[in-house]
């Protein structure tokens, strides 16, 4: 029966359903929800039963629990009919687009292709379909996306409109070849013959098998699988035969031979003359040469070198280069998980550069780690006879001949020194001393060596070193240290030095401060101060200069407005330019302290007069939102304003008064929402004598402390923290690197630690501005930085700059404004900087206090107030509390947004705590202190979320947020109950489990499609009450899960659901169904991919709860004679 | 303090080069000595080697050097007569396909599991649902205010007043409810509507007075097609129970392979319940005019659609109640 006949037949049965089908023909999968919307939109007066008539219509080819699909030909015919009425077509497409975000991306992609196919019929010249198909091909071939391939095979069958396209045929062939292992024919459908390039593309990601190559004398043979001693290469796993083409030169002529063999067999021997090129069907080319001949040339190629990698994993290494193969012997600053992988890299050398491939790393890492510089020893300076053996020694005192400490050298504890000396005979030696300290990196087990003195004796010139210290679990320090000197070849490719002191006793003393420990721990998040939730009243004060002009002119009239109803006020500038700059100069730590105090008071009085505000009127906290069109006013330290009582107005008051600045009105609001989950970029200058590594570490620590509730466990590593997900560090980056990082990742917060450097215009010495000096390259100007950090699609919401004068606006001549203003102008909502020199200690206090509560979803204005107050209260920071300026432009509805973001933040933190609990559950014998910390964190987060929800019960939440929150509360309660049970608190555990049950029930009622939550609810109801009171739900869940299993052969999670329901069957009055449960688990074992142990392990874990936790002996299944322990054990035996 | 050094291939080569440069390298034995000194096993000279060069193992990579134990446990190179040394070069043919290098791959797609389902647009107007359900399930009880009109009428007609007439009030009363949910395939598009009604009923009826039963087709002849080995036995509820059906009363399309349910079956079902003293009400997503009039007298059929109002439902219910009283 052809499609039109089928449509006619269906129309005779139910014309309305066919009419509805026509409108729905642009959709790929039709869910009941979509059906309902289309009926109500296009057939409003038809009875609801039309939906059922279409659901069971003969037009439907595939019908599952969740959706229906029409026969492809029928859908195409219906689309053509619909296309005859452009208005209806447009309306149908519009409605489909409105509901688009509720469908999986691949379904949306299919709908796009449906539309493009229709366009192709209407306008055959359109190339959009071709482009889309090519994108899909590239994703399958280039990225090996098997899921996309699977989708493509079924989708193309449903898109007859694309049949004529060459790319459709190629996609079909590519997808089939990538999925069907070695059983597929190379020829695509439609009789289109592939070109050589297309064939190569087809084979690019083909499954490959390893074969062994053997060259014995002049005979070459291939073995599959490789035998001992064979060289191994990979060929496409074609059937019925594998194939290689051998090419070589003999007597000046090019020769070629074909080598074939059956799978799991060996080829005939081929007579060749080495070197031989072997080419696979995928055009992979291998060069085979004689080992003996290669060794001859290898001796000349071995060269030591220093290499530096940049990218996400920055490292330096010292190693050997031999025959195009790089053997990296030592690295530093590289996460432990990759350390062993980069020791053996393949290099392709051309003149001065070397390109490295990472054969053992995953694609993502390969992309991120790249070698950018390479320094080989000049061939002319090879080892001389005098060069001797290198000494590597751990000393407990400074080496002899070190001389007195030089300027800039920090005092250090000799116990933490490592001295390395390598002598070149008796008369030449170089010593180098390192101090062990915690590195500022995020890897928990990284220590770093910091060179403290450089000696240059005799003619020894520049030198390079690289160390990779490791901490052993027993607390011993193992130092892998490689050292090289560039003008005298003296290279230790590999040497281990084991320190004999335990780390714990060493690093906590002397120069190593306790708070510099970088081991990431789950800490209980800091309590949010109660006041932080109070609403803040915002009063805008605007200052306007009417006259044209620039700079401070004493007596110039200004207009001031404040709030909504206060009368307009005028004031005259009380300071001249000279007076103003003089007072500011007295605050720059170059004058006596008394002078600074006096200047602070003078300026405090003047700015009070200008602001016209000295005391809040209401009982609550107040934000002074300061706006001005007069450029010169931004140079004034309004933050120093004194109150009516002569004390500073913006610190330490109750109720608090918070001053923020705002530019009038060049603000580009590019972040309409407020971020909930933080991702922080920390940019810092290279550690040096001026910027001690301890300061960098303290900033890193402060940022990390604030982010603790967001630090998740490392995937695949039991209970290790993965801090790099939330905090990334750029050490001495170039502008390009900052820009690239911001484009690559949507950072929510950026923190900069650098030196402020005054840059003067060489043509106009009066004109200067402040730039950031990161150490390595050119200073970065305000506009440049603003451009770099705002170049990505998502702007950071908050940027803090810990650098001298980053917020200074004192030079009115310079066209470039301060960092604070330039960033704010570009759309960064909150910028915090210093308008005066910033002391190092101040920068640490500022960072610590500002970020302490920021990521808990609090109001950013409270964080500003907390930071200024902390600076004010710390005696070491002197008057830096008034240096801090904050440019703030909060989004519209910030108060409303804040509730949502606080809630989202709470949900996110609870999710993180739950992940820790999950990670601990997966490992056998976790550290008890970690368990305790996780339990506390879980408990705290649950309480906090519930408190917040209670406080704002009247606020209507988005359904998705509501669902997420309830689901999360349910699982978190269950995990908490397990923790309590594990430590013997049975009663308490059962109480918590009841809460978990109630949350699961609410989650299911909130979204009936989430049958998984429903099953959890039933399971807990069964174990707590000993009965399932609503067998209807039991049946419904089982039907849905079984339908899913029938619908998709790749589905395996539903097996676990069915098995658990079978286990619970007696409690739903259904009799024993354990046999069915066993069958379902057997099916699960078949369906779960062998390389993914997680589904089986998760099911096993759930069943184990019935044997160890949810038993009668532990107080469950009350009023019943037995529990489900035996049946659960039976099921567990199936899983092995 | 303990200093340990570990060597690899590079050290062997470096040492041999040192020997060559200083004229100390004599023969294979010399090199064997050097190699063994550095912890390597020397192996037989390859057959094609033109001169006495050290032979590499089949794998030119050095042993892993990050783990001391691992180095110590690395087995000695396999003795082999294989003289091949293979280097790989990148494939180039695919790059010659011009569009392939120019086009961007389709961005990665996210997991379908993260997506919420389309929010339900219920069959009833959501704001009216509670009132509709009340109108459908309520029972008229004469316990309201004094019915003055009737009292005056009876007094005027000179009849003795044996009982004070009271005005009727609609209440849910003390009766029991049995909610029957038809989950056959023809009701699949309305599954979420059924769940919505269930949760509403659960919310405003006392939990102990409601029983939920699920079935396929007509309860009296239902077979559970999803679990064919199971029989479904419907038990008639006690007298006074209100049986509330969420079904299509057989009006929906037939699902191949399942038992046909006719209006006659439903009529028999309603009759049995009527005899048992139960009343039957149904929400049906089809026009009730398609049902036989006899069936409509036995079952209060309420249209399950957007336009339905509580007043309409109350009128329908009363009409059926009156016809049943007659």
To the nearest 10°, report the CA torsion of A806, A810, A813, A815: 30
- Enter the tokens of residue A908: 């996110």
Question: Helix A32-42 to helix A15-23 angle, to the nearest 10 degrees?
Answer: 100
Spatial strand order in the sheet of A242-250: A253-261, A242-250, A276-280, A285-290, B84-89
pLDDT in tens, A244-285: 889 998 888 889 998 888 888 888 888 888 788 888 877 778
In this prediction, residue A318 carries a pLDDT of 44
What's phi and psi for A961, nearest 5 deg? -65, -45
What pLDDT shows up at residue A654?
78
At residue A25, φ and ψ (nearest 5 deg) are -70, -15
pLDDT tens profile A818-851: 899 988 888 888 999 999 988 887 888 899 888 8
Cβ contacts of A127 on chain B, cutoff 8 Å: none
Alpha helices in A44-195 (DSSP H): 49-55, 72-83, 86-98, 105-122, 128-143, 146-157, 166-179
- Average of per-residue pLDDT across A1118-1125: 83
Question: Which residue on chain B is closest to A67 by alpha carbon?
Answer: B189
Strands A303-311, A285-290: pairing kind? unpaired
Q: Does A472 touch chain B (CB under 8 A)?
A: no
What pLDDT is stored for residue B39 in this prediction? 57
Full-model pTM: 0.46
Q: How confident is the model at residue B312 (pLDDT cuts 50, 70, 90)?
A: very high
Per-residue pLDDT band for A884 (boundaries 50, 70, 90) equals: very high
The tokens describing A1064, both together, are 């619970």
- pLDDT value, residue A408: 37
Quote the strand ranges of A893-1000, DSSP E. Answer: none
| Closest listed residue to residue A684, CA positions, set A351, A442, A361, A429 | A442
Instruction: Report CB contact under 8 Å: A33, B119.
Output: yes
Question: CA A807 to CA A758: how far, in whole Å?
Answer: 13
| A875-887 mean pLDDT | 86
Chain A residues lying within 8 Å of B123, measured CB to CB: 48
Contacts of A40 in chain B (CB under 8 A): 121, 306
Length of chain A: 1136
Give residue A184's pLDDT. Answer: 47
| Residue B233, pLDDT above cutoff 80 | no
Asked if A955 contacts A948 with a C-beta cutoff of 8 angstroms, the reply is no
Query: What is d(CA A410, CA A412) in angstroms, rounded to the nearest whole number?
Result: 6
The confidence score (pLDDT) of residue A960 equals 64
The 10s digit of each residue's pLDDT in B164-212 is: 888 888 777 678 899 998 888 889 899 999 988 988 888 888 878 888 8
In this complex, the residue of A99, A204, A232 whose CB is nearest that of residue B94 is A204
**What would the pLDDT profile of A210-254 be if each residue is shown by its tens digit?**
888 888 878 898 988 877 667 777 788 776 677 888 999 888 888
For residue B98, CA distances in Å to A201, A966, A994, B102 come to 12, 52, 63, 7
- The shortest CB-CB distance from B91 to any of A57, A282, A329 is to A282
Q: Which residue of B49, B83, B90, B126 to mutate against A (max A Cβ within 10 Å)? A: B83
Interface contact B289, partner A, CB < 8 A: no
On whether the CB atoms of residues A730 and A775 are closer than 8 A, the answer is no
CA distance A625 to A667: 14
Encoding tokens for residue B280? 């039957």
Q: Measured between alpha carbons, how far is residue A581 from residues A27, A458, A599, A636 in Å?
A: 69, 51, 11, 9
- The pLDDT tens digits of the residues spanning B41-54 come to 655 443 333 322 22
Specify the higher pLDDT residue, B129 or A760. Answer: B129
* Chain B interface, best mutation among A12, A13, A47, by max B CB count within 10 A: A47
User: Is the CB of residue B152 less than 8 Å away from at least one CB of chain A?
Assistant: no
Q: What is the mean pLDDT of residues A861-890?
A: 87
Residues 6+ apart with CB under 8 A from A1074: A1062, A1063, A1127, A1130, A1131
Place of tokens 């595939």: A62
Write down the pLDDT at residue A334. Answer: 40
Q: Report the alpha-carbon distance of residue A121 to residue A124 in Å, rounded.
A: 6
- pLDDT, average across residues B218-244: 69
Q: Which residues of A touch B252 (CB under 8 A)?
A: 49, 52-53, 56
From CA A1022, how far away is CA A1065, in angstroms rounded? Answer: 10
- Report whether A38 contacts A68 (CB < 8 A): no
d(CA A795, CA A672): 10
Locate tokens 């016209």: which residue? A612
Q: Which residue of B has its CA nearest to A1030?
A: B212
Give A642→chain B minimum CA distance, Å.
54
Which band of pLDDT confidence, cut at 50, 70 and 90, is reported for residue B322?
confident
Closest CA to A59 of A68, A51, A67: A68
Q: What is the pLDDT of residue B206?
A: 81
In this predicted structure, what is the pLDDT of residue A48? 94
Query: How high is the pLDDT of residue A493?
Result: 27
Structure tokens at A981: 């049970």
Give the closest of B3, B53, B185 to A392, CB-based. B3
Span A91-134, pLDDT tens digits: 999 999 988 888 888 888 999 999 999 888 888 877 888 899 99
On the question of pLDDT at A712 being above 80, the answer is no
| DSSP assignment letter at A644 | T
Of the ranges A499-508, A1048-1057, A1116-1125, which one carries the lowest mean pLDDT score? A499-508
Q: Are strands A712-713 and A622-628 parallel, antiparallel or unpaired?
A: unpaired
Is pLDDT larger for residue A1037 or for residue A38? A38
* Region B243-267 average pLDDT: 83
**Angle made by CA atoms A945, A946, A951, in degrees to the nearest 5:** 100
- A70 confidence band (pLDDT: 50, 70, 90): very high
Q: Which residue has the higher pLDDT, A936 or B287?
A: B287
* B282 interfaces chain A, CB cutoff of 8 Å: no
C-alpha A315/C-alpha A309 separation (Å) is 5
pLDDT at A1099 over 50: yes
Helices (H), A263-374: 291-301, 336-339, 363-368
The residue of B93, B116, B254 whose CB has the most chain A CBs within 10 angstroms, and thus the best one to mutate to test that interface, is B93
Instruction: Tell me which residue in B99, B106, B188 faces A55 most closely, judged by beta carbons.
Output: B188
* Token pair 């359903």: residue: A17
Q: Please judge whether B2 and A285 are an interchain contact, meaning their C-beta atoms are less than 8 angstroms apart.
A: no
pLDDT, tens only, A996-1052:
898 888 877 766 666 778 888 889 988 888 888 878 788 888 888 888 888 777 788
Nearest to B82 among A48, A109, A214 (CB): A214
| pLDDT confidence of residue A629 | 82
Question: What does pLDDT average to over chain A?
Answer: 72
- Whether residue B1 contacts residue A498, with contact meaning beta carbons closer than 8 Å, is answered with yes
Do residues A542 and A551 touch, judged by C-beta distance below 8 A? no
SS3 state of residue B146: strand
**Pick the residue with more confidence: A486 or A192?**
A192
- Mutation target to probe the A interface, by most A beta carbons within 10 A, among B76, B103, B106, B184 is B106
> Which pLDDT belongs to residue A183?
45
Q: Please give the sequence-ordered ranges of beta strands (E in DSSP) within A606-685, or none if there are none.
A: 622-628, 657-663, 680-684
Residue A457 reports pLDDT greater than 80: no
Q: Who has greater pLDDT, B150 or A765?
A: B150
What digits encode the pLDDT tens for the residues A413-423? 333 334 333 33
C-beta of residue A232 within 8 angstroms of C-beta of residue B88: no
Q: State how far the alpha carbon of B306 is from the alpha carbons of A42, A43, A780, in Å.
A: 14, 13, 65
- Which pLDDT does position B21 carry in this prediction? 62
Least confident of A53-57, A580-584, B88-92, B142-146: B88-92
H/E segment holding residue A989: helix A986-1006
Secondary structure element (H or E) that encloses residue A610, with its range: helix A593-611
Q: What pLDDT does residue B16 have?
A: 67
pLDDT band at A690 (very low <50, low <70, confident <90, very high): low
Q: What is the mean pLDDT of residues B80-94?
A: 53
CA closest to A501 among chain B residues: B1
pLDDT digits (tens, 9 = 90+) for A1064-1089: 998 888 888 889 999 999 999 888 88
Most confident of A757-771, B38-52, B103-117, B309-323: B309-323
SS3 assignment, position B157: coil
Most confident of A646-655, A966-975, A1077-1086: A1077-1086
Q: What pLDDT was estimated at residue A660?
A: 93
Handedness of CA A579, A580, A585, A589 (dihedral sign): positive
| pLDDT at position A876 over 50 | yes
DSSP conformation class of A854: G
Least confident window among A63-77, A369-383, A1085-1099 = A369-383
- Cβ atoms of B61 and B84 within 8 Å: the answer is no
Contact A322 B212 (CB under 8 A): no
Interface check B156 vs A, CB under 8 A: no
Report the pLDDT averaged over residues B284-305. Answer: 90
Q: Do the Cβ atoms of A733 and A752 come closer than 8 Å? A: no
Is the predicted pLDDT of residue A776 greater than 80, yes or no?
A: no
- pLDDT value of residue B209: 85
Over residues A135-173, the pLDDT tens digits come to 998 888 877 777 788 888 888 888 888 887 888 888 888
Mean pLDDT of A874-887: 85
> Looking at the complex, does the CB of residue B260 fall below 8 Å from at least one CB of chain A?
no
What is residue A909's predicted lDDT score, i.e. its pLDDT?
Answer: 79
| Per-residue pLDDT, A419 | 38
Does B173 contact A at CB distance below 8 Å? no
For residue A436, the model assigns a pLDDT of 43
The three-state secondary structure class of A47 is coil
DSSP B205-243: S-GGGEEEEEESS-GGG-B-SSSTT-B----PPPTTPEE
Side-chain-side CA neighbours of residue A510 (13 Å): 18
pLDDT of residue B194: 92
pLDDT at site A639: 92
From the CB of residue A143, how many other CB atoms can be counted at a distance below 10 Å?
Answer: 14
Give the highest mean pLDDT range of A957-971, B256-270, B311-325: B311-325
In chain A, what residues touch B14 (CB-CB under 8 Å)?
A: 302
Distance, CA of A496 to CA of B2 (rounded, Å): 9
A1050 contact B CB<8A? no
Q: Do residues A201 and A174 lie in contact, with contact meaning Cβ atoms separated by under 8 Å?
A: yes
Question: CB-CB: which of A204, A232, A295 is closest to B55?
Answer: A295
d(CA A418, CA A440): 19
Q: Find residues 197-226 of chain A whose CB sits inside 8 Å of chain B.
A: 197-198, 200-201, 204, 213-217, 220
Asked if residue A606 lies in contact with residue A575, where contact means CB atoms within 8 angstroms, the answer is: yes
The confidence score (pLDDT) of residue A925 equals: 64
């Amino acid at each position: 029966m052809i499609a039109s006949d089928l449509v006619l037949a269906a129309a005779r049965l139910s014309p309305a359903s066919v009419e509805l089908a026509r409108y729905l023909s642009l959709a790929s999968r039709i869910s009941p929800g979509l059906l309902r919307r289309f009926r109500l939109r296009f057939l409003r007066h038809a009875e609801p039963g039309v939906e059922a008539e279409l659901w069971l219509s003969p037009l439907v080819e595939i019908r599952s629990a969740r959706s229906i699909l029409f026969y492809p030909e029928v859908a195409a015919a219906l689309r053509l009919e619909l296309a005859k009425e452009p208005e209806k077509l447009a309306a149908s497409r519009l409605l489909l687009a409105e509901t688009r975000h509720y469908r999986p991306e691949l379904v949306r992609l299919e709908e796009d292709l449906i539309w493009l196919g229709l366009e192709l019929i209407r306008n055959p010249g359109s190339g959009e379909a071709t482009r889309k198909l090519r994108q899909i091909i590239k994703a399958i071939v280039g990225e090996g996306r098997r899921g996309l391939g699977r989708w493509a095979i079924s989708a193309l069958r449903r898109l007859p409109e694309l049949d004529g396209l060459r790319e459709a045929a190629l996609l079909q062939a590519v997808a089939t070849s990538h999925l069907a292992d070695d059983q597929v024919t190379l020829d695509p459908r439609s009789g289109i013959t592939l070109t050589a390039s297309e064939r190569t593309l087809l084979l690019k990601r083909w499954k490959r098998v390893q074969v062994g190559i053997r060259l014995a004398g002049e005979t070459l043979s291939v073995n599959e699988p490789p035998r001992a001693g064979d060289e191994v290469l990979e060929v496409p796993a074609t059937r019925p035969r594998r194939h290689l083409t051998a090419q070589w030169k003999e007597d000046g002529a090019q020769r070629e031979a074909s080598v074939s063999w059956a799978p799991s067999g060996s080829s005939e021997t081929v007579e060749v003359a080495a070197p031989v090129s072997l080419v696979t069907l995928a055009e992979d080319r291998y060069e085979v040469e004689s080992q003996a001949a290669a060794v001859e040339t290898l001796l000349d190629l071995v060269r030591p070198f220093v290499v530096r990698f940049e990218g996400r994993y920055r490292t330096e290494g010292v190693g050997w280069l031999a025959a195009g193969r790089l053997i990296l012997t030592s690295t530093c600053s590289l996460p432990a998980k990759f350390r062993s992988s980069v020791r053996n890299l393949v290099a392709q050398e051309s003149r001065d550069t070397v390109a490295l491939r990472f054969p053992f790393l995953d694609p993502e890492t390969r992309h991120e780690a790249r070698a950018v510089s390479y320094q080989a020893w000049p061939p002319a300076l090879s080892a001389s006879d005098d060069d001797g053996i290198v000494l590597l020694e751990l000393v407990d005192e400074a080496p002899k001949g070190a001389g007195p400490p030089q300027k800039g050298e920090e005092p250090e504890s000799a116990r933490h020194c490592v001295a390395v000396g390598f002598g070149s005979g008796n008369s030449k030696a170089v010593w180098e001393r390192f101090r062990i300290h915690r590195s500022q990196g995020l890897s928990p087990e990284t220590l770093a060596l910091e060179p403290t003195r450089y000696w240059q004796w005799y003619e020894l010139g520049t030198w390079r070193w690289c160390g990779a210290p490791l901490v052993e679990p027993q607390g011993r320090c193992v130092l892998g240290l490689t050292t090289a000197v560039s003008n005298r070849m003296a290279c230790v490719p590999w040497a281990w030095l084991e320190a004999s002191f335990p780390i714990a006793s060493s690093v906590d003393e002397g120069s190593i401060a306790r708070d510099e420990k970088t081991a990431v721990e789950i800490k209980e998040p800091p309590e949010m101060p109660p006041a932080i939730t109070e609403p803040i009243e915002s009063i805008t004060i605007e200052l306007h200069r009417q006259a044209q002009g620039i700079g401070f002119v004493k007596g110039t009239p200004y207009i001031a407005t404040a709030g909504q109803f206060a009368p307009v006020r005028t004031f005259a500038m009380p300071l001249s330019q000279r007076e103003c700059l003089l007072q500011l100069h007295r605050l720059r730590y170059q004058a006596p302290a008394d002078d600074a105090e006096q200047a602070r008071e003078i300026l405090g009085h003047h700015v009070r007069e200008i602001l016209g505000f000295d005391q809040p009127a209401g009982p609550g906290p107040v934000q002074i939102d300061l706006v001005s069109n007069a450029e010169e006013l931004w140079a004034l330290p309004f933050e120093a304003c004194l109150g009516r009582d002569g004390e500073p107005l913006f610190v330490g008051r109750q109720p608090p008064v918070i001053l923020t600045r705002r530019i009038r009105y060049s603000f580009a609001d590019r972040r309409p929402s407020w971020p909930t989950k933080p991702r922080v970029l920390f940019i810092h200058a290279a550690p040096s004598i001026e910027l001690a590594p301890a300061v960098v570490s303290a900033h890193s620590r402060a940022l990390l402390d604030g982010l603790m509730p967001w630090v998740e466990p490392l995937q695949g590593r039991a209970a290790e923290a993965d801090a790099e997900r939330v905090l990334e560090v750029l050490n001495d980056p170039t502008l390009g690197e900052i820009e690239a990082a911001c484009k690559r990742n949507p950072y929510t917060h950026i923190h900069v630690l650098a030196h402020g450097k005054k840059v003067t215009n060489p043509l106009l010495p009066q004109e200067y501005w402040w730039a950031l000096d990161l150490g390595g390259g050119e200073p970065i100007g305000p506009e440049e930085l603003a451009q770099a950090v705002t170049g990505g699609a998502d702007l950071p919401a908050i940027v803090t700059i810990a650098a001298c004068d980053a917020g200074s606006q004192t030079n009115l001549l310079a066209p470039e404004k301060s960092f604070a203003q330039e960033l704010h102008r570009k759309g960064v909502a909150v910028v915090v900087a210093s308008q005066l020199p910033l002391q190092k200690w101040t920068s640490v206090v500022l960072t610590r206090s500002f970020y302490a509560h920021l990521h808990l979803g609090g109001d950013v204005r409270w964080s500003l107030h907390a930071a200024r107050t902390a600076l004010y209260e710390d005696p070491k920071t002197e008057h830096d509390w008034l240096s801090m300026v904050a440019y703030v432009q909060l989004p519209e509805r910030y108060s409303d947004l804040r509730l949502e973001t606080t809630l989202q933040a709470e949900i996110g933190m609870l999710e993180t705590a739950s992940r820790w609990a999950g990670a601990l559950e997966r490992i056998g014998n976790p550290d008890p202190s970690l368990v305790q910390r996780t339990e506390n964190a879980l408990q705290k987060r649950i309480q906090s979320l519930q408190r917040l929800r209670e406080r704002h019960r009247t606020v209507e939440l988005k359904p998705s947020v509501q669902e997420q929150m309830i689901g999360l509360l349910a699982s978190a309660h269950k995990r908490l109950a397990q923790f309590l049970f594990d430590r013997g608190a049975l009663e308490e555990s059962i109480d918590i489990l009841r809460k978990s049950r109630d949350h699961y029930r609410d989650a299911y009622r909130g979204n009936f499609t989430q049958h998984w939550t429903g099953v959890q609810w039933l399971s807990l109801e069964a174990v707590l009450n000993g009965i399932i009171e609503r067998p209807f739900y039991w049946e419904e869940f089982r039907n849905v899960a079984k339908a899913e299993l029938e619908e998709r052969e790749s589905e395996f999670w539903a097996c676990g659901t069915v098995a658990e329901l079978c286990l619970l069957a007696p409690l739903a009055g259904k009799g024993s169904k354990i046999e069915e449960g066993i069958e379902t688990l057997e099916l699960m074992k078949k369906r779960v991919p062998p390389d993914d142990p997680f589904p089986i392990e998760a099911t096993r874990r759930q069943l184990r709860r019935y044997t160890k936790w949810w038993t009668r002996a532990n107080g469950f299944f009350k009023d019943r004679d037995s529990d489900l322990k035996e049946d659960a054990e039976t099921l567990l035996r199936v899983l092995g | 303090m303990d200093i340990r050094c570990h060597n690899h291939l590079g050290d062997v080569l470096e040492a041999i080069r040192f020997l060559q440069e200083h004229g100390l390298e004599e023969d294979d034995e010399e090199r064997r000595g050097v190699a063994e000194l550095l912890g390597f096993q020397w192996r037989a000279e390859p057959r094609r080697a033109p001169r006495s060069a050290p032979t590499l193992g089949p794998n030119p990579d050095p042993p892993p050097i990050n783990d001391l134990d691992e180095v110590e446990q690395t087995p000695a190179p396999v003795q082999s007569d294989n003289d091949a040394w293979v280097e790989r070069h990148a494939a180039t043919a695919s790059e010659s396909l011009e569009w392939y290098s120019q086009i961007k791959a389709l961005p990665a797609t996210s997991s379908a599991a993260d997506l919420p389902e389309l929010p339900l647009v219920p069959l009833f107007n959501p704001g009216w649902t509670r009132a509709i359900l009340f109108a459908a399930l309520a029972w008229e009880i004469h316990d309201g205010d004094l019915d003055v009109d009737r009292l005056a009428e009876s007094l005027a007609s000179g009849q003795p007043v044996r009982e004070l007439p009271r005005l009727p009030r609609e209440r849910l009363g003390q009766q029991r409810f049995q909610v029957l949910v038809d989950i056959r395939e023809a009701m699949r598009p309305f599954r979420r509507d059924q769940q919505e009604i269930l949760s509403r009923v659960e919310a405003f009826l006392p939990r102990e007075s409601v029983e939920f039963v699920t079935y396929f087709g007509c309860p009296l002849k239902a077979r559970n097609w999803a679990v064919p080995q199971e029989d479904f036995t419907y038990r008639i509820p006690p007298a006074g129970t209100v049986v509330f059906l969420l079904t299509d009363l057989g009006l929906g399309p037939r699902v191949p392979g399942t038992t046909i349910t006719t209006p006659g079956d439903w009529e028999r079902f309603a009759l049995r319940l009527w005899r048992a003293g139960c009343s039957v009400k149904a929400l049906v997503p089809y026009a009730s005019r398609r049902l036989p009039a006899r069936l409509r007298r036995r079952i209060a059929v309420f249209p399950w659609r957007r336009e339905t109002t509580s007043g309409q439902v109350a009128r329908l219910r009363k009409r059926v109640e009156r016809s049943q009283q007659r």
